[in-house]
Amino acid sequence: MFENLKKLFAGQSAPEGATAPEAAAPPSPALPDAFLQRDAVFDRRNRLAGHLFSLQFPYEPAYMRRQCDQALLDTLIASSEEWKAGQVFIPIAADSLDLPVIDRLHPENTVLLVDLDTEQHDPAVLVKRFEELHARGVRLGLFRNPRHPAFAPLIARCDVAALNVSASDGNTVRDFSAAIRANEKQKPVLLFGCNIETLDDHRLCHQWHFEFFHGPFAASAPPRKDEAGSDPHKVQLLHLMRLVQGNAENAEIAEAMKQDPLVAFRILRYLNSPALGLNHPIDSLNQALIILGRQRLTRWLAVLLFSVREPDFGDWLLVESALTRGRLMEVLGEHCFPGQATDPLFLTGIFSCLDRLLRRPMADALGDMPLAPGVRDALLLRSGPYAALLAVAVAADAFDLTAIADTARAAGIDAARVNRALLAATAWASEVTEHWE
């Protein structure tokens, strides 16, 4: 999934003297088959700092970078979700800085990562545009390109300095960091490592004071040695879910919650978090059961099941997968199953990662959990009413472009709807994980 991003960040321009043949260009400006790719960005504490978004196409959009940037920005502002947590990193070409859509971005959580991909830029014009955007509160990053005449004046005005690590050696990483930090005058410039492929490269960037880390290195982190299934808090949460999904009385459920004070504390903490949006605080477990009801409580027990104390890269990626799949299926379900409850879709999505969490086959992980037949059939047999949306969620999570297009088509969903749902799911997951301990 990172191969397309490598091309995007390579800073390659068309060969000298080459022109874009009119007949060879794909259809524009609609670009109807483009799907949104979101990649995790980590901070120095190995926590999720935000997401980098790009738009990928089933064809090679030669000489269309400006149109692609326009489509990406249009997709991002089409989301009705308010980003209350995490940051949105948007790579765009310098040629695209004058696009009017940029002025419609919400600057609070946005960082534009600018690529000086050609020599055809007037430094004075770019400096003026940087200053205009800064005046609006937009944060700006710049990819390393020291030979470009606009690089020096622009890097002095940046909030973030970005480096394509996969295309750089260790000396370049070190020298870039030293140069950026040596030129800090009025405000610090944060270093962004893009396309970091290995844990060794991540350690190198961390050593040289990088603040943000992006790339496939996170997926290569070794799993923890302890067995997740032996975690007493997760065992207790699974027990509570069986009680809540079954026919247990409220008093029995509340008593079971009290057996693990940490579980009880975390439940009350999350139920009172802004992510849930309740009008009145919940200060007792009995009150939680009465006010929320079993379906809503089941949702948050499922969310808590994936919370991790002192999470590392692999833990965060698992949390991302589970929460985003659940919310993505729920949002898409509002369109595909109008008027029907979406809680079974949420559980289907989040439980689709239960085997990875417990490191057991799915059938063993589900065990005797009382689940609706549609949920169990989707998880174990990939059949039933929820199977089509689960296939979309799994493909979007792995960002298999062909699979996303095929599964979305099979589910009767267009690319724009999938993209909006992914943005909504990512924003929701970011807000929820902000409250992790």
Q: Which tens digit of pLDDT belongs to each residue from 318-335?
A: 999 999 999 999 999 999
The DSSP string of 219-259 is GGSPPPSS-GGG-HHHHHHHHHHHHHHTT--HHHHHHHHHT
Separation between Cα atoms, residue 182 and residue 178, nearest integer Å = 6
Kindly state the tokens that stand for 14: 């068309």
pLDDT of residue 326: 96
Q: Is the pLDDT of residue 379 over 90?
A: yes
Task: Tell me the C-alpha distance between 420 and 423, whole Å.
Answer: 5
Tell me the pairing of strands 160-164 and 110-115: unpaired
Task: With cut-offs at 50, 70 and 90, classify the pLDDT of residue 276.
Answer: low
123-127, 201-205, 207-211: which has the minimum mean pLDDT?
A: 123-127
Per-residue pLDDT tens over the stretch 41-86 = 999 999 899 999 999 887 665 557 888 899 999 988 877 566 767 8
The mean per-residue pLDDT over the stretch 413-423 comes to 93
**In this predicted structure, what is the pLDDT of residue 265?**
79
Distance CA 186, CA 171 (A): 27
Query: Residue 275 — pLDDT band, cuts 50, 70, 90?
Result: low
Could you list the beta-strand ranges (E) of 34-116: 35-42, 48-56, 87-93, 110-115
User: Mean pLDDT lowest for which of 103-112, 186-195, 291-300?
Assistant: 291-300
Would you give the DSSP letter of residue 222? P
Across the strands, what pairs with 93? 115
CB 35 within 8 A of CB 62: no
Q: pLDDT tens digits, residue range 230-269?
A: 677 788 888 888 888 887 888 888 888 888 777 777 777 7
Q: What is the pLDDT of residue 60?
A: 64
Report strand pairing: 48-56 vs 87-93. parallel
Which sequence spans correspond to the domains of the chain? 3-220, 228-305
Torsions phi, psi of 122, nearest 5?
-80, 115
Q: Is the pLDDT of residue 304 over 90?
A: no
- The one-letter amino acid code at 418 reads V
Among candidate residues 84, 143, 135, 85, the one with its CA nearest the CA of residue 114: 143
Confidence of residue 32 (pLDDT cuts 50, 70, 90): low
Q: Read off the amino acid at residue 261.
A: P
CATH number corresponding to 3-220: 3.20.20.450
Residue 29: per-residue pLDDT: 46
Instruction: Mention every residue, 6+ apart, whose C-beta is less than 8 A from residue 318.
Output: 306, 353, 356, 357
Residue 112: partners with Cβ closer than 8 Å, 6 or more residues away:
90, 92, 97, 102, 133, 138, 139, 140, 141
% of the chain residues with pLDDT over 70:
85
State the pTM of this model: 0.85
